[in-house]
């Protein structure tokens, strides 16, 4: 499912025009991005928790050349599903 299909499906389920639903989705994503930029954890009940994590720098080796190089630290977004969501997946 891509963004356009998601917006169309959500629009049908909540009985709003596609334009209004698209703005709602865009605003929701923008709010989430703002929280992630401030290293804040976002929890959505019955769905899961999004958390910004820092990956430490590390040394990697190119298997073809054997050359070693340093990979700098970076921030990544992690997701941990809620127990409710986990149970729904395991029930099927």
> CB of 49 within 8 A of CB of 80?
yes
As a whole number of Å, the CA-based R_g of the chain is: 19
Kindly state the average pLDDT of the residues 40-54: 94
Give the E-state strand segments of the chain in sequence order: 42-44, 48-55, 58-61, 68-71, 74-81
pLDDT at position 92, please?
63
Task: Tell me the pTM.
Answer: 0.74
Q: Which of 26, 30, 57, 53 is nearest to 41 (CA)?
A: 53
* Domain 3-91 bears CATH identifier 4.10.520.10: yes
Domain ranges of the chain: 3-91
For the cut 90, the answer to whether the pLDDT of residue 90 exceeds it is no
């Amino acid at each position: 499912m891509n963004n356009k299909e998601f917006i169309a499906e959500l629009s049908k389920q909540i009985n709003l025009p596609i334009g209004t639903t698209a703005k709602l989705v865009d605003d929701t994503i923008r709010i989430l991005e703002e929280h992630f930029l401030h290293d804040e954890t976002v929890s959505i009940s019955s769905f899961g928790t999004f958390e910004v994590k820092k990956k430490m720098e590390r040394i990697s080796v190119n298997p073809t050349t054997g050359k070693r190089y340093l990979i700098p630290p970076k921030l990544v977004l992690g997701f941990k599903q809620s127990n409710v969501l986990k149970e729904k997946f395991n029930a099927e």
